[in-house]
Structure 1
């Protein structure tokens, strides 16, 4: 379970986040600059809150007055909005970048099969499509077997057909892994199709919305 209760002063307002998340997909919606990505960055350890606490499965990520847990020890999978693939690495090297020498390559092979990217492994990012980049970035985020997955506008640059296929892949991955997923999106349709819970953030204030998948809870 993810537990978040933090405050973070931003330029125009203060972000106040207080929620818990089990093995669900939570969609964060709201206008640009409302605090959505800042919240993801706080969970990942890229940004530190001003006060409060963050924990996952009983392990403290952040607690006021204590040294924050290092990013590499948080077991967080993070798919950035621009995918952040290394242009000089092949697809295979991008996926394996964060893994140690004793990594479970059978797990990585299964990921590439599920996501349908086996034939892309020797290609470079500039040689593949936007939808393919999205799947490669998702494979990289999942390669280290994270305990939580953070997705920042992962479908914003995709056409409708590719977006629908990526939705199916995400739902299949979630069904297999059963880990908390937080999805930041501007598209209400994405939130309604994918999320078990929908939370709106406006100027740092969170409010839970109705979800079509409420029966999951």
Structure 2
């Protein structure tokens, strides 16, 4: 288990989310109660429209719940903060800035009032090195691949030394080989930084490979937590060795059974 403590680091208490739209109100989430332990890697998985990204945005402080409370280190989450960094599926890099400058911008926003420019540059260098992007630090986004752009996005988040790393399908737009490489890199990075991670994914294998626990969401609207699965597989993890590991196979089957046997009516209705 990667978590260093059983004490809740993030708490979601009775959270509910209703959006007001042109067509009326949309009930996205209901009765969300969740605890994330410090140092834990947790993934949120479920069908499209089940509120995974909405829950992640609530934890990030990008939106406020209609009802309920969210806490980080016993302090209410009311807005975004540097202790909670977000990595989106879209790398969100500024196209006119180099990789170094994109990361430096984030570092400066957090540490600029307290540190000299030399120290800020050192933080930026270290973050790019951590994700294997030192060789391309002066290239702009249009000069690097999609996987490299996502590495820079992760570096920008890590450079701010967040206590919580929130990731919204960060590898979803990448090809299978690039995705696998970045998953392996993420495992190494989290092992070194001991970050608390909450990640949205659609990929069952990704969830089992990376997670300490997998939160499985019911179908929306008014989605909630259906089950939480403990992934009892020692770290470090090797994807090749896990392919035939009984614990891996069992966890994978449990998630597939939840998603495609008990919660597959969305696909059946759409067919």
Identify whether the pair has TM-score above 0.5, normalized to the shorter chain.
yes
Following TM superposition, by how much is the alpha carbon of 1:88 offset from its aligned partner in structure 2, in angstroms?
Answer: 1.4
Q: Name the structure with the higher helix share.
A: 2
Following TM superposition, by how much is the alpha carbon of 1:13 offset from its aligned partner in structure 2, in angstroms?
Answer: 4.3
Q: From the superposition, tell whether residues 119 and 79 of structure 1 become closer, same or farther in structure 2 (CA, over 3 Å).
A: same
2:99 pairs with 1:84: no
**Equivalent of 1:9 in 15, 18, 21:** 18
Following TM superposition, by how much is the alpha carbon of 1:47 offset from its aligned partner in structure 2, in angstroms?
Answer: 0.9
TM-score, structure 2 as length reference: 0.72
Whether contact under 8 Å (2:28, 2:51) holds in the other structure is: no
**Equivalent of 1:43 in 59, 64, 73:** 59
2:156 pairs with 1:147: no
Q: From the superposition, tell whether residues 97 and 177 of structure 1 become closer, same or farther in structure 2 (CA, over 3 Å).
A: same
2:187 pairs with 1:168: no
Please provide the CA RMSD for this pair.
1.8
Q: From the superposition, tell whether residues 83 and 77 of structure 1 become closer, same or farther in structure 2 (CA, over 3 Å).
A: same
Q: How do residues 8-87 of structure 1 correspond to structure 2 at under 5 angstroms? A: 8-10=17-19, 11-22=26-37, 23-61=39-77, 68=78, 70-71=79-80, 73-87=81-95
1:132-176 alpha-carbon deviations (Å, 9 max, x no partner): 011000001111111100111111122222112111111112112
Count residues in correspondence. Answer: 208
Once residues 48 and 82 of structure 2 are traced to their aligned partners in structure 1, the CA distance between those partners, rounded to angstroms, is 27
Q: Which moved more, 1:185-194 or 1:3-12?
A: 3-12
SS at match of 2:89: coil
Q: From the superposition, tell whether residues 12 and 60 of structure 1 become closer, same or farther in structure 2 (CA, over 3 Å).
A: closer
Whether contact under 8 Å (1:192, 1:211) holds in the other structure is: no
Following TM superposition, by how much is the alpha carbon of 1:97 offset from its aligned partner in structure 2, in angstroms?
Answer: 1.4
Once residues 145 and 214 of structure 1 are traced to their aligned partners in structure 2, the CA distance between those partners, rounded to angstroms, is 27
Once residues 151 and 139 of structure 2 are traced to their aligned partners in structure 1, the CA distance between those partners, rounded to angstroms, is 14
**Structure 2 unaligned runs (5+)?**
1-8, 20-25, 236-271
Whether contact under 8 Å (2:104, 2:120) holds in the other structure is: no
Whether contact under 8 Å (1:96, 1:140) holds in the other structure is: yes
Whether contact under 8 Å (1:95, 1:139) holds in the other structure is: yes
TM-score, structure 1 as length reference: 0.88
- Counterpart of 1:182 in structure 2 is 198
1:31-86 alpha-carbon deviations (Å, 9 max, x no partner): 1111011111111111110121111122221xxxxxx2x32x35111001111111
Q: Which moved more, 1:6-15 or 1:176-185?
A: 6-15
Once residues 174 and 194 of structure 2 are traced to their aligned partners in structure 1, the CA distance between those partners, rounded to angstroms, is 25
SS at match of 1:83: coil
1:161-214 alpha-carbon deviations (Å, 9 max, x no partner): 211211111111211222220110111010011111111112221123434436
